[in-house]
Amino acid sequence: MHKSFLDRAAQLSANNQPFATAYIVRRKVPSSGKPGDKAIITPDGQIHGWIGGGCTRGIVLKEALLSMSDRKARFVLISPSAKKAKVEHTKIYNMTCQSGGEVEVYIEPVLPKPQLLIFGSSHIAMALAKIGKAMEYQVQVVMSSVDKTLFPMVDAVYALSDFDPANLTVSPYVIVCTQGEGDADAMEKALSLEASYLSFVASRKKANGTYGELRLKGITFDQLKTIKTPAGLDIGAKTPEEVAISILAEIIQDFRKPNQQEDLTVKGNSAAPQINLLNDDYYINPVCNIPVLKASAKHVLEHRGEKVYFCCDGCKVSFEATPDKYIAVKS
């Protein structure tokens, strides 16, 4: 199990795919999960490994998906006496399984680093590429004519006329730093990507002139509003390297920004994993609001002509006692 866990983690990392790891660090019998048991959870809701069944499985799945959304690791305590428990920096869930037991799980997101898409071959573009690669970011460059000698360290270099957005695997951070060499053409291509972060290295006067050219090309005011100009945080940067650092600081600020909503259907910022658990494979248990994989659910009943799925026997018993408390009567 340990080898398959490491192999899968290595494969996902190599493919630049997000996932979360979950480790059981403590338990009280008779929980089925034991310290050292572990699993990898992917954004599609798949669990690879073993961290227990019933309540534990659904809770770990929910918290793993949320950890990928808010980019934060967490400890999770699942206990029948959760209401009495007070553990610092730990999220606490009430164990509703009638079998009892208690587990504590550590969950950590493993997310791909940002992808930079740089338009231009200016000194700032070269500084961005160099520092970005030093940070182990994926870096691609689009320039008027390909000259790989200017960017020997990047992942890919494209000619502007040949660039195909289909080459991108995630929504990138886009920086246009053409600095007078085909500014409008490069920006037109960059705008077609509809990236959540797009900045233009230019003075306001230069930017306004370029925007006038873009309007003649059919670009709307709403599209122009998505462009961040001047690019980067205001740190008084002067040299190409300093300007590059100010831009990367702004990108880091956006990339590290947590998603505050605890909603399993929320999609995070530009480099966040796409999480959408509410599909036909899962059912949200109405008692504890924990997702249940319908194909493997052991506790199911029919209520007003519809199947209701539960993560454990305790939730099923609670529902049977007062179903209208959990599912509103349809008018």
pLDDT in tens, 112-160: 888 999 999 999 999 999 999 999 999 999 998 888 889 999 999 999 9
Q: Considering the chain, what percentage of its residues have pLDDT values greater than 90?
A: 43
Contacting residues for 155 by C-beta, under 8 A, at least 6 apart? 138, 139, 140
Using CB atoms within 10 Å of the CB of residue 94, give its burial: 0 to 12 exposed, 13 to 18 middle, 19+ buried: middle
Q: Collect the ranges in the chain with pLDDT lower than 50.
A: 261-275, 277-278, 330-331
Residue 103 to residue 136: CA distance in whole angstroms: 36
Q: Given this model, what pLDDT does residue 135 score?
A: 94
Strands 74-79 and 102-110, sheet pairing: antiparallel
Judge whether 67 and 105 are in contact, CB under 8 Å: no
Residue 148 to residue 122: CA distance in whole angstroms: 13
Q: Given this model, what pLDDT does residue 58 score?
A: 84
Residue 9 to residue 12: CA distance in whole angstroms: 5
Domains of the chain: 2-110 (no CATH), 115-255 (3.40.50.720)
pTM above 0.75, yes or no: no
Tokens encoding 283:
């059912």
The tens digit of pLDDT for each residue in 214-233 reads 999 999 999 999 999 989 99
Residue 257 to residue 17: CA distance in whole angstroms: 19
Q: Given this model, what pLDDT does residue 286 score?
A: 82
Contacting residues for 116 by C-beta, under 8 A, at least 6 apart? 128, 129, 132, 137, 138, 139, 140, 172, 173, 175, 251
Judge whether 64 and 49 are in contact, CB under 8 Å: no
In degrees to the nearest 10, what's the CA dihedral of 279, 282, 285, 286? 20
- Number of other residues whose CB lies within 10 A of the CB of residue 127: 20
Using CB atoms within 10 Å of the CB of residue 107, give its burial: 0 to 12 exposed, 13 to 18 middle, 19+ buried: buried
Q: Given this model, what pLDDT does residue 327 score?
A: 75
Integer distance in angstroms from the first to the last C-alpha of the chain? 50
Q: Given this model, what pLDDT does residue 188 score?
A: 93
